[in-house]
Amino acid sequence: QKEVEQNSGPLSVPEGAIASLNCTYSDRGSQSFFWYRQYSGKSPELIMSIYSNGDKEDGRFTAQLNKASQYVSLLIRDSQPSDSATYLCAVNFNTGGFKTIFGAGTRLFVKA
Amino acid sequence: ETGVTQSPTHLIKTRGQQVTLRCSSQSGHNTVSWYQQALGQGPQFIFQYYREEENGRGNFPPRFSGLQFPNYSSELNVNALELDDSALYLCASTPRVNGGTDTQYFGPGTRLTVL
């Protein structure tokens, strides 16, 4: 059973702080990893994709992947109230047919 | 905006009925995936279509079926609706250039309520 796990939160951080979101996955055959942000009542929007071990930075966001530990994280620097949303970790598999597994999401609150 | 559109926006059905949801992919994208998202949960993968063929399927019963058309638009059909089918149904399109590594771009979703 392929699984993706996230802390459900809520995670509360003050404005300007660093928010750290974590995700673990069970299948070593996982190929690609994504972080999506979802506002209440809206569809997921892509923040970052990462495919190889290490860090990937895009503006205030940094994704980190460690395939040996089956762990992917998202850091949000200088958190803003507008970052308050649910953050979804997603993992793609393409063995025996394509599948994407999402975690249940972590709710983030950034306090002004 | 991702360029992925879905219709209808909202839908109310009764238990036992059948429903068809529609998705228009982003231009140039030949792959479409469908997801079910219940309140407070992450999206659950239903299936993916690549060039009109089912390319992968999640743990959903056969009453969930799909089609992809030559223009890469897609339909999700659900027969014999159950109360638990009430959810947000999301469509995502992908350029399918690099196989399983491609990013998926989501449409706005269809909110289905089963009474």
pLDDT of residue B71: 87
pLDDT of residue A94: 75
Do the Cβ atoms of B102 and B31 come closer than 8 Å? Answer: yes
pLDDT of residue B29: 86
- Give one word for B2, left, alpha or beta, with left for phi > 0 and alpha for psi -120 to 50: alpha
Provide the pLDDT confidence category of residue A2 given band limits of 50, 70 and 90.
low
The string of pLDDT tens digits covering residues B21-49 is: 999 988 888 889 999 999 989 999 999 99
Average pLDDT, integer, range A48-71 = 94
pLDDT of residue B100: 58
Q: Closest CB to A99: pick one of B43, B45, B99.
A: B45
Q: What is residue A104's three-state secondary structure?
A: coil
Q: With an 8 Å Cβ cutoff, is B30 touching chain A? A: no
b/e burial code for range B43-76 (CB count within 10 A of at least 16 → b) = bbbbbbbbeeeebbbbeeeeebbbebeeebbbbb
CA distance, residue A18 to nearest chain B CA (Å): 24
The string of pLDDT tens digits covering residues A4-41 is: 999 888 999 999 999 999 999 988 777 899 999 999 98
Record: contact A100-B45, CB cut-off 8 A: yes
